[in-house]
């Protein structure tokens, strides 16, 4: 297991104000945030930057979330990135869970409060997926 001083979190959402709200709720000295508003932007950003965790809203105009994560799981650089999926409808989560490519996934249903998202992100940070945060 490698140790890193920070974790890079990619937030994918069509509404910039929601990305800012998530950043505010998750702000810690060891976290660096990247933002994407589409599947194409997500693929571009993950190809040039090392991302530790993706927080991904299911609503995208240019792709569905299962296709996007399926593409990411096929690429060596991105296949081990864990995801936190945000969705408006609890019943859809069962469908996503059955269809999901193998990997680390957590699902949260709107409305999402700060403690729920913080607990989910912290869970990934403390796990042994690909990194462990070393806080000063």
Q: Can you give the residue ranges of every domain in the chain?
A: 9-127
Quote the pLDDT of residue 128.
46
% of the chain beyond a pLDDT of 70? 78
- Is residue 131 pLDDT above 50, yes or no? no
Three-state secondary-structure class, residue 17: helix
Quote the pLDDT of residue 83.
87
Cα–Cα nearest to 18, from 117, 123, 120? 117
Under 8 Å between Cβ of 77 and 100: no
Strand stretches in the chain, DSSP E = 3-4, 7-12, 31-36, 53-57, 83-87, 105-109, 132-133
Four-way CATH pick for 9-127: 3.40.50.2300, 3.40.50.10470, 2.130.10.10, 3.90.1150.10: 3.40.50.2300
Distance from C-alpha of 19 to C-alpha of 26, rounded to nearest angstrom: 11
> How would you classify residue 103: left for phi > 0, otherwise alpha for psi between -120 and 50, otherwise beta?
left
Quote the pLDDT of residue 105.
73
């Amino acid at each position: 297991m490698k140790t890193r001083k920070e974790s890079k979190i990619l937030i994918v959402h069509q509404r910039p104000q929601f990305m800012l709200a998530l950043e505010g709720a998750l702000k810690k000295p060891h976290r660096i945030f990247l933002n994407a508003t589409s599947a194409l932007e997500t693929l571009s950003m993950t190809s040039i930057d090392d991302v530790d965790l993706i927080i991904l809203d299911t609503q995208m105009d240019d792709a569905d979330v299962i296709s996007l994560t399926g593409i990411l799981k096929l690429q060596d650089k991105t296949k081990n990135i864990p995801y936190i999926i945000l969705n408006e409808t609890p019943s859809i989560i069962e469908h996503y869970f059955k269809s999901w490519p193998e990997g680390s996934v957590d699902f949260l249903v709107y409305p999402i409060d700060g403690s729920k998202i913080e607990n989910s992100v912290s869970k990934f940070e403390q796990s042994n997926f690909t990194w462990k945060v070393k806080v000063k």
